Structure 1
């Protein structure tokens, strides 16, 4: 019996120690478990153990997920990162904008991207293209087909086709204009292109190095410097500098002077005034190079881009742009001599031209 006394004493001692531990932890189990772990590791009561601080735990042992969750990066930083990866050596990026309706398979986005692949030596420009999606489905689709995509949520559902000059359409156009201003403020030049424009050659080669803003024309009067040209903001280049940023800021403010008008209409009204005030040189690009359905030019040896302007309706645009793409493929198959003769012409964009006109469709 005497031989068992030390063992019994030892077991009683262990039991009492365990009881004390459980009693101690019952006061605040999460806090005490951290402290006990700390004692076992460092021999003191420092409550920071392996980077876990007791402040991360509440007295009822619930985790504060708001404190633990990683902070979301501001949208501007995400944009800056994308711009840096997409920019050319001179800090120029190509921009386009899509919603769900334009980004679905076999819609405008697919046709737009394909045009870079069948154009003349412009496929590499896709590396410098940033596609701005205005809704989640457009963003998801973009990520399937392109490497540089940015989700620009505007607080309004822009996923469906927006009818020309409706309230949602106007808000989308002005939001786009504000976004372009932010690109300039981040220090990047941009060439914005509507997604209903197909590319054949590089239009940047037609923009003068002295131009602060270069814009396509619905109707070109023969002089790139003439304020008499009717502009089309669907193809728009802007150089990042103080002059253009101020131009854009005041362009936004001028919206109040012309209520219920889109940004292109306002640009046309203030172009001369703002060019003089801010010292901005505006170039209007010849429709022989950056053409459209408003003023269809037929020299395929010069054409860089073709815009489905003066046309309302997604299906009409798709039909006529597909015909334009087919015509381009036929032109490419011609011999050098046949191309030089210049006898080949576009088919008339019949769906757009013969569409009913309930209101002005210039530029869209």
Structure 2
């Protein structure tokens, strides 16, 4: 009897002790696992609860686990979104420049409107001069960017040339001829000047040429490596670095650097300082001050090679370009430049001894050429 009592007591106590000891051991294991892996602990607790606890406990622990997961997600910074590509304020200008530029980021530029793109007009003569030129000058067309001032000029350019850019402007109708020193003419010249500054700020050197410049040979060989700016001359005095020479902005080379960009800022400011003057006159007025203040090296190009109607080179064996400057009116320019190209074609077709003998001369006088 006594033995049965003792035996029965032992049987009733043992399961309780086993349960308490088991629960304690499990709790210790769980707490140890939590301290070892804090990032995973609450999730693992929930899994354990599903197998060992009540439905209420499971729901409570899952809520805690979700909250911890969300907190962890917030704590880990999300990757920054990819930057949004902003459209260039210049449209496709940078793409056009990149296609046309030489290895040293130099482009040749000219500017036209609809009046100059009609069949038989200045753009046709301009292209013909390259095609009939000597020394591989035609290859330079690969680096020519034609800046168009109206939709008709842009459409016409695209038919004949791969590097066309439409410079959108407001306030002026650029389709027709702009007469020298008219309000629209001044707007066009100063707008061109501002656009040239943009090219420099984009990191490109440029050689700007008016479309009434005939290209017979490569002019780059006459531009000094030491010049920041090389500009053609209406009147050349003999010293290319003398500021006494008279400039013409219709043929202009500029290297992109801080000095020349600053020069252009002062040049633009001169539009209002010397109100009513065009950009070429302002260049002449600021050239002394700017070379002193900025250290800009200006080369004036010899008219023997980079010539014009103002001071005509008569040596066809040396001339590289010929500008219809000192000539007002589209009709007058077309008349004289057609005669120039007639003479040039005869010259290039002649035997070398005849060329060297200097038997070929321009047809003078013309309307402007003399």
Structure 2 length-normalised TM: 0.75
Describe the superposition over 1:281-316 as per-residue Cα deviations: whole angstroms up to 9, x where unpaired.
000000010111111110111101010000001011
Segments of 5+ residues of structure 1 without an aligned counterpart are 1-70, 355-364
Pick aligned residue for 1:187 from 184, 203, 207: 203
Distance 1:256 1:235 in 2: 24
Secondary structure, counterpart of 1:163 in structure 2: coil
The correspondence for 1:151, drawn from 143, 153, 166, is 166
Report the structure number with the largest CA radius of gyration. Answer: 2
Q: Please state how far the C-alpha of 1:75 moved relative to its aligned partner.
A: 4.1
2:146 equivalent to 1:131: yes
1:96 aligned onto 2:110: yes
Kept in 1: contact 2:336–2:369 (CA 8 A):
no
5+ residue gaps, structure 2, are 1-84
d(CA) in 2 for partners of 1:75, 1:323: 42
Residue equivalent to 2:184: 168
Shift of residue 336, structure 1, vs aligned partner: 1.3
Change (3 A) 1:72 1:166: farther
TM-score, L = length of structure 1: 0.76
TM superposition shift of 1:77: 4.9
Match of 1:141 in 2: 156
Q: Residues 183-222 of structure 1: matches in 2 within 5 Å? A: 183-222=199-238
Give the deviation of 1:333 after TM superposition.
1.7
Report the alpha carbon displacement of residue 326 of structure 1 after superposing the two structures with TM: 0.7
Distance 1:103 1:75, change over 3 A: farther
Aligned counterpart, 2:271 = 255
Match of 1:80 among 94, 99, 106: 94
Alpha-carbon separation, structure 2, partners of 1:177 and 1:351: 29
Q: 1:8-87 residue pairs with structure 2 within 5 A?
A: 73-87=87-101
In structure 2, the partner of 1:122 is: 137
Q: How does 1:318-333 map to 2 (within 5 A)?
A: 318-333=334-349
What is the rounded CA distance, in whole Å, between the counterparts of 1:261 and 1:202 in structure 2? 32
3-state SS of paired residue (1:301): coil
Instruction: Report the counterpart of residue 245 of structure 1 in structure 2.
Output: 261
Q: What whole-Å deviation, never above 9, does each CA across 1:70-96 have from its counterpart, x for those lacking one?
A: x99434251111100000111100000
1:207-263 Cα distance to aligned partner (Å, 9 max, x none): 000100000000111110111111000000000000000000110001122111100
Instruction: State the SS of the aligned residue for 1:351.
Output: coil
What is the aligned partner in structure 2 of residue 269 from structure 1?
285
Partner SS for 1:231: strand
